[in-house]
């Protein structure tokens, strides 16, 4: 697991965007895995800038989002599909219909989740996946106790996650859906390359488990220790509980010294 401890949000965006750009330049038809939440925003901002100023194109790419609330109306701004459209998709040049998300409005959620798995594998699988992490160690909406081999499915959100996300719903917990659909940990692990961004002291405990803890369903992100190509990009605040933070800084500097 590569660990970068960045100075600021611009550097976080640059490091993550370098990995995405490398993937897209080597395969213009790359399949991208997109995530919601505030953590990926520096990446999307930098990719949008490179699209506008440096001609980075997404015209031949496809993209799949990680998860979705169940029960939000199609035009709700916090619907994850709408978030991705507003924060990233509409600012670059994806072709019509090439960005897909799991369907949280389907009457048969199990069938919709199975169809989503098929769509990802029919596209050849995800080449590069961006992730955030929940304060309880979830990735996508794989809450503690998720099977480490889980696939795309409907799930029940923990109160902690609903509480964390209430800030997007006028601070009103009762407005946060109780159900979601999410790619499973087994699904995410099939992405060929994974980039995870975490910032702020609220993520420090989850980050310590992710990078240095035991692999356990209690902290679902720890499954990423079994993936061969993961880059974790942190700020100072989210890295405070890492015992080997100094070593990660030295290692990153040594590998990226020009």
Question: Which residues within the stretch 10-69 sit at the binding site for ligand GLP (CB under 6 A)?
Answer: 35-39, 66-67
Nearest-approach distance from CB 33 to ligand GLP, in angstroms:
11
Question: Which residues within the stretch 175-234 sit at the binding site for ligand GLP (CB under 6 A)?
Answer: none
**126, 83 contact by CB (below 8 A):** no
Question: What are the start-end ranges of the H helices in 74-190?
Answer: 80-87, 109-122, 159-165, 185-189
Report in angstroms the alpha-carbon separations of 196 from 35, 39, 113, 133.
10, 9, 23, 7
134 binds ligand GLP (CB under 6 A): yes
Q: How many residues bind ligand GLP (CB under 6 A)?
A: 14
161 binds ligand GLP (CB under 6 A): yes
The token duo for 240 is 């405070």
133 binds ligand GLP (CB under 6 A): yes
Question: What are the start-end ranges of the H helices in the chain?
Answer: 9-26, 41-54, 80-87, 109-122, 159-165, 185-189, 204-212, 245-256
- Closest to ligand GLP by CB, 56 or 81: 81
Candidates 106-114, 121-129, 132-140, 220-228 — which segment interacts with ligand GLP by CB under 6 A?
132-140
Scanning the structure block, which residue is given the tokens 């949008």? 48
Nearest-approach distance from CB 247 to ligand GLP, in angstroms:
26
User: Interface with ligand GLP by CB under 6 A: which residues?
Assistant: 35-39, 66-67, 132-134, 140-141, 161, 165
């Amino acid at each position: 697991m590569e660990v970068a401890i960045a100075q600021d949000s611009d550097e976080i965006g640059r490091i993550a965007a370098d990995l995405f750009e490398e993937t897209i330049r080597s395969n213009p038809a790359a399949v991208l895995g997109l995530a919601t939440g505030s953590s990926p925003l520096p990446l999307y901002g930098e990719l949008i800038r490179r699209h506008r100023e440096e001609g980075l194109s997404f015209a031949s790419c496809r993209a799949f989002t990680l998860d979705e609330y169940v029960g939000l109306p199609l035009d709700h701004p916090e619907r994850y599909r709408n978030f991705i459209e507003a924060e990233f998709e509409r600012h670059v040049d994806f072709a019509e219909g090439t960005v897909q998300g799991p369907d949280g409005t389907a009457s048969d959620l199990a069938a919709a989740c199975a169809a989503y798995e098929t769509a990802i594998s029919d596209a050849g699988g995800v080449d590069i996946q961006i992730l955030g992490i929940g304060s309880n160690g979830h990735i996508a909406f794989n809450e503690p106790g998720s099977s480490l081999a889980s696939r795309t499915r409907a799930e029940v959100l923990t109160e902690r996650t609903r509480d964390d996300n209430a800030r997007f719903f006028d601070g009103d917990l009762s407005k946060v859906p109780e159900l979601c659909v999410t790619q499973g940990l087994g699904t995410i692990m099939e992405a060929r390359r994974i980039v995870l961004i975490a910032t702020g002291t609220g993520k420090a405990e989850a980050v310590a488990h992710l990078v240095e803890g035991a692999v356990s369903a209690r902290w679902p992100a720890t499954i990423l220790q079994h993936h061969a190509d993961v880059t974790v990009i942190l700020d100072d605040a989210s890295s405070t509980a890492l015992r080997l933070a100094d070593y990660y800084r030295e290692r990153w500097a040594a590998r990226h010294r020009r």
